[in-house]
Amino acid sequence: MVAEVTRRQKWLYPSYSGYLSRRKVAIGAFALGGVTLAGCLSNNYSFFNFVNSSGADMYFKVPATWSDFGPSQVFSTPQQSISPGQLSQIESADWANVFSAQRTNSIQALTGIFANQPFGITQAKKLSTSQRDTFSLASLRTLLIPSDPLSSSTSSTSGAVYTAESYSEFVTPAGMRGSRMVVEIKQTGRATSVLSQVAEVDSSTNWVYLIGVGCSKACYQANKAVINEIVDSWSVRSVK
């Protein structure tokens, strides 16, 4: 999943060259059962959900005052907005949402995981045949970061060191395999950052789902309660 990891890194680390590769996605052949962005507000949160072609429903909430960017913005580039037809094709295999406590109307202005304000990504992605053949729990751990934090290795891509502060695995009643981890990210010349991630793959290894929220270590400690509330709200109601 090297190409996909690289694309997600650009979401997490905007300084890598912006979001220019977002449109280079694998286009699936299956139509969605439905896509819904619910604008409902409750207790100062906005609620979102995505339903894929198999009927699985990914759900999460974000503080209503945060900046939020849906698929049409995530998959566009600074040079060209994506058309409705292109977006429909992409969403048959890939749905993504980026959000941040940083108040801005431009996704390009977001400063990513090293920011001093919380930054988050959530995604549902249909795996290709080759990805399905090799997908593992280690694959879940490297969806957003280029190096497995359980291996204590240094990423040759970013020059960062990833250390798992906590890690657990689980299986849902619907047979989805998943993991939850909090990872400390150290990179020369940047403030140490922390990422909280939950990721799952369905029982047929067809779709992978994730949420990641983080920021600088000082920011993470100051905003830990709201970050945990966002991550805890994330769930996938999968069909068996």
CA angle (202 as vertex; 84, 38 as ends), nearest 5: 40
H or E element in which residue 131 lies: helix 129-134
CATH topology for the 2-237 domain: Protein Transport Mog1p; Chain A (3.40.1000)
Residue pLDDT, tens place only, 79-96: 778 788 777 777 777 888
Residue pLDDT, tens place only, 94-138: 888 999 999 998 888 888 888 999 999 999 999 999 999 999 999
Residue 155 has pLDDT above 80, yes or no: no
Domain assignments of the chain as residue spans, ordered by start: 2-237
- Residues 23, 76 contacting (CB under 8 angstroms): yes
* pLDDT value at residue 79: 74
In angstroms, rounded to a whole number, what is the distance separating the alpha carbons of residues 206 and 30? 12
* pLDDT value at residue 133: 94
* pLDDT value at residue 205: 94
What average pLDDT score do residues 215-225 get?
96
In angstroms, rounded to a whole number, what is the distance separating the alpha carbons of residues 58 and 60? 7
* pLDDT value at residue 19: 25
Considering the entire predicted model, what is its pTM?
Answer: 0.80
Cβ neighbourhood burial of 39 (10 Å; 0-12, 13-18, 19+): exposed
Residue pLDDT, tens place only, 28-53: 211 222 233 333 334 699 999 888 87
- Residues 149, 163 contacting (CB under 8 angstroms): yes
